[in-house]
Amino acid sequence: MTPLPLPHPFAGRSGSPIVAAADPAIFTRRYFTHCLDCAFCHDACCTYGVDFDHQALAGLERHAAAFEAFSGIPRARWLADRSTPDPSMPGGASMRTQVEDGACVFRNRQGRGCLLHGFAVARGIDYHDIKPIVDCLFPVTWEGDVLVPAEEVLDDSLICLDTGPSLYQGAREELRYYFGDELVQAMNALERAVTGMPPER
């Protein structure tokens, strides 16, 4: 689909990524959204790991010893050795999380969800400080300067597709966190144009 332009480019709170348009599919494709209420996926979206931006990595390193104790996972097992430069990533680069036994190393094997998120909640830390932006925005992501559905949506491999709110509605508050209220207002206008939804009161 042809991307829909935003009124102007919007930079993430750290300066990157910068987005200037949105794929209309993020307003029409749907997914379950409320992950921990799901009884059928078994955290399938954690199968492949995630690109971990260097800004979030710096945040995690500040809590490294406490997270090792919380998770039982030594830091040597967290990430692949190779760092990939990427100016669109907060911190200018990313590293891939390790995959162990068919899932991201940070998946909670004793329960549900992400150990990073669980650690943040337990310690009263803002999870955005230690979780990668790609993870927080999923299943919305970006290519160049366009907000787009994640690959798992495009190839229909995301197990919870086609039920629940739209990708945009599910990711709206994360987009607000990273890009601000003005971006959300602009996205709301695009959503109305694509879906015919009435204006918010």
Assigned domain for 46 exists? no
**Full domain range(s) for residue 110:** 51-137
Beta bridge partners of 17: none
What is the pLDDT at residue 41? 52
Q: Do 148 and 132 share a structural domain?
A: no
In this model, does residue 34 exceed pLDDT 70? no
Domain boundary pick from 122, 137, 152: 137
pTM above 0.85, yes or no: yes
The pLDDT mean for the chain works out to: 90
Q: Who wins on pLDDT, 154 or 67?
A: 67
Mean pLDDT over 154-160 rounds to: 70
Instruction: Compute the distance between CA of residue 130 and CA of residue 116 in angstroms, rounded to an integer.
Output: 7
Q: Who wins on pLDDT, 151 or 60?
A: 60
Residue in the block written with tokens 């042809």: 2
**3-state DSSP helix/strand/coil percent for the chain, to nearest 5?**
40, 25, 35
The b/e string for 40-61 (b: 16+ C-beta within 10 A; e otherwise) is: eeebebbeebbbbbbbbbebbe
Q: What is the pLDDT of residues 71-121, one digit of tens each?
A: 999 999 999 989 999 999 999 999 999 999 899 999 998 876 899 999 999
What is the pLDDT at residue 184? 98
Give the number of C-alpha atoms closer than 13 A to the C-alpha of residue 164, restricted to the C-beta side: 16
How many domains, the chain?
A: 2
Q: Do 130 and 55 share a structural domain?
A: yes
